[in-house]
C-alpha cells in the first residue's frame, strides 16, 4: 500500500470546496493506553474531524505544553512503542477512511531508520508526517524516502519566520503547511488571532499548499475565528485535556467525540 498523501490533499480540497476550513485533530498514541488511544482517535474522526495527527510520544517534547507532556509521560510509562503508533494509524485509517498523519520529533525516526519508518507508515495507510524540529536544510534524506512512499512532509512555520525562510520551508513541504499561531508551546489560549492571520497571509504568498493553524484553539468560537482566515484548524491540547479530565476511559472517549462535533460546527461558520 502506498501512502495516502492524495487522500490528504483531496480531503483539504473538499473542505475548501465547501467554503470552510478543515478540522485537524491531534492525539498522542498510547494514551491513556494503546487500545484507549486508538478508540480516542477513531472517536474524533467519527465526531467530525477531517484529518487526525497521531503523536509519537517523546521524552523531550519541546513544542508541547504541559497537557500533552503529561499525556506523553503516561504513554511512555505505559511502554508505548513505534509499532503501537503504526498500529494506531492503521486501525484509525481502516475504520474511518480519513487521512491519518504522524507528528513526531526527529530523534525517534532517526534512531528507528528513515527507510523503515516511512515504509511502515505508508504500509499502515498513513498520509504523512509532521516534523516540528527537523530543519529543512537537513531534511533531504527524509523527503527522499517520504516521496518514494507517497507520504506528505509537513513543516512548521512560526510568526518569527522571515518571508524568505517561509519560501524555503514551503517549497520543501507537501500536504499542507503547519502554521504555529504564536511563539511558544502547545496549549489552550484566550486568543489566537492577530499573529496567526498575518502568518497565514505571508505563508500563502509563498505557496499553493493549504495553510493550517495550530497552537491554542480549544473551542468552537476560536475554531470559527481561525477558520475565517486559514485552510485548516488544528486542535490538540483541548482533546488531550478532555481525556485527562475524564473519570474513566469511556467518558474520555465520549468527551473527545463531543468536542470534535462542537469544533466541526465551529469551522463551518465564521465568527
CB atoms within 10 A of CB 35: 14
DSSP class of residue 136 equals G
Calculate ∠ Cα 213-234-188, nearest 5°: 95
Q: What does the block give as the cell for 85?
A: 503508533
Phi-psi category of residue 184: left, alpha or beta, with phi > 0 → left and psi -120 to 50 → alpha: left
DSSP 91: H
By annotation, the residues acting in catalysis are: 53, 64
Phi/psi of residue 38, nearest 5 degrees: -60, -45
Of 41, 59, 58, residue with least CA distance to 49: 41
CB 133 within 8 A of CB 106: yes
DSSP for residue 179 = E
Cell numbers of 152, please?
A: 506528505
Number of neighbouring beta carbons within 10 Å of residue 185? 17
Cα 77 to Cα 36, 69, 89, 236: the distances in Å are: 15, 12, 21, 21
Grid cell 503529561 is found at 70
- Among residues 77, 129, 123, 136, which one has the least CA distance to residue 108? 129
Q: How far from each other are the two terminal CA atoms of the chain, in whole angstroms? A: 41
Amino acid at each position: 500500500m502506498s501512502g495516502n498523501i492524495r487522500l490528504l490533499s483531496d480531503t483539504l480540497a473538499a473542505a475548501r470546496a465547501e467554503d470552510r476550513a478543515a478540522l485537524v485533530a491531534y492525539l498522542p498514541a498510547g494514551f491513556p493506553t494503546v487500545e484507549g488511544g486508538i478508540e480516542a482517535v477513531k472517536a474524533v474522526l467519527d465526531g467530525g474531524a477531517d484529518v487526525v495527527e497521531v503523536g509519537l510520544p517523546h521524552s523531550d517534547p519541546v513544542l508541547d505544553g504541559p497537557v500533552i507532556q503529561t499525556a506523553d509521560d503516561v504513554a511512555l510509562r505505559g511502554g508505548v512503542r513505534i509499532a503501537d503508533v503504526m498500529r494506531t494509524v492503521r486501525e484509525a485509517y481502516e475504520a474511518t477512511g480519513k487521512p491519518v498523519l504522524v507528528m513526531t520529533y526527529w530523534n525517534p525516526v532517526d534512531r528507528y531508520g528513515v527507510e523503515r519508518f516511512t515504509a511502515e507508515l505508508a504500509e499502515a495507510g498513513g498520509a504523512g508526517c509532521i516534523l516540528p524540529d527537523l530543519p529543512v536544510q537537513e531534511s533531504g534524506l527524509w523527503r527522499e524516502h517520504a516521496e518514494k512512499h507517497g507520504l506528505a512532509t509537513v513543516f512548521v512555520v512560526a510568526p518569527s519566520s522571515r518571508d524568505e525562510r517561509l519560501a524555503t520551508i514551503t517549497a520543501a513541504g507537501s500536504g499542507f503547511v503547519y502554521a504555529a499561531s504564536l511563539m511558544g508551546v502547545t496549549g489552550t489560549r484566550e486568543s489566537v488571532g492577530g499573529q496567526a492571520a498575518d502568518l497565514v497571509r505571508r505563508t500563502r504568498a509563498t505557496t499553493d499548499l493549504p495553510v493550517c493553524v495550530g497552537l491554542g484553539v480549544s473551542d468552537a468560537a476560536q475554531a470559527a475565528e481561525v477558520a475565517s482566515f486559514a485552510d485548516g484548524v488544528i486542535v490538540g491540547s483541548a482533546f488531550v485535556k478532555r481525556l485527562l479530565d475524564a473519570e474513566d476511559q469511556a467518558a474520555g472517549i465520549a468527551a473527545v467525540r463531543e468536542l470534535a462535533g462542537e469544533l466541526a460546527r465551529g469551522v463551518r461558520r465564521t465568527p
